[in-house]
Amino acid sequence: MMRDLLSKGMQKNTDKEFRLLVKEHGDRVFNLALMKSNQVTLAEDITQETFIRVYKGLHSFRNEAQIGTWIYRIALNVCHTLLMKESRISMPLESFDENDEIGISDDSGDVQKLFQTDSEKYQIRKAIAGLPPKQADAITLYYLREFKYTEVAEIMAIPVNTVKSHLRRAKENLRQILKEVEL
């Protein structure tokens, strides 16, 4: 139904359909933004800017990708743009308490099982933030957001083999970082 509406361009029901998109993808976009920025206010700004761009771009959506991956690609681009603009590429994790929540409220409770203690959650977040941006994006999208390789490739606008390479390097780097903190 959404693809039919979008392929016909902006129509009378687009506002209603847009609200459904926000309802369906809003929490996931916010959680991605929170994981990238580690700041609730900035994550809210990223989410808002993402959906402004989604709304403005609905008429040009070409159905070459799934709407969710298209939205995530926009969100990732907005994250990078706003983080650079705010000069927060190196995130101030020291300001976070070990008991801060990581912000994952996905439909699947399995993601929460990745983090056994608050201390581990903090160390993993800190380790991911210390990765090069493309590695951090790949780890976040594949393992924490549970996208498939092809979806991560679409969102990041890179080939699938490059996604796999980023993931391999990210896991090696995370192993080294977490080994140093004896997690």
Question: Which phi-psi region, left, alpha or beta, contains residue 103 (left: φ > 0; alpha: ψ -120 to 50)?
Answer: left
Question: What is the SS3 string spanning 57-92?
Answer: HHHHCCCCCCHHHHHHHHHHHHHHHHHHHCCCCCCC
Q: Sorting pLDDT into bands at 50, 70 and 90, what band is 158? A: very high
Query: Residue 121: which of 34, 41, 30 has the closest Cα?
Result: 34
The pLDDT of residue 92: 42
Domain spans of the chain, in order of start: 1-89, 98-183
Q: Between these two residues, 152 and 111, which has the higher pLDDT value?
A: 152
Assigned token pair, 105? 């409220």
The pLDDT of residue 20: 92
Query: pLDDT, tens digit, for every residue of 35-84?
Result: 888 889 999 999 999 999 999 988 888 777 789 989 999 999 999 888 87
The pLDDT of residue 101: 40
Residue 161 has pLDDT above 90, yes or no: yes
Q: Sorting pLDDT into bands at 50, 70 and 90, what band is 169? A: very high
What mean pLDDT do residues 135-151 have?
A: 91
Distance CA 98, CA 183 (A): 14
- Domain at 1-89: CATH code: 1.10.1740.10
Topology of the domain covering 98-183: Arc Repressor Mutant, subunit A (1.10.10)
Are the C-beta atoms of residues 33 and 77 closer than 8 Å to each other? no
Q: Between these two residues, 135 and 124, which has the higher pLDDT value?
A: 135
Distance CA 180, CA 174 (A): 10
Question: Which phi-psi region, left, alpha or beta, contains residue 104 (left: φ > 0; alpha: ψ -120 to 50)?
Answer: beta
Assigned token pair, 64? 């070459």
The pLDDT of residue 160: 96
In 3-state terms, the chain is what percent helix, strand and coil (to 5)? 70, 0, 30
Residue 112 has pLDDT above 50, yes or no: no
What mean pLDDT do residues 143-163 have?
A: 92
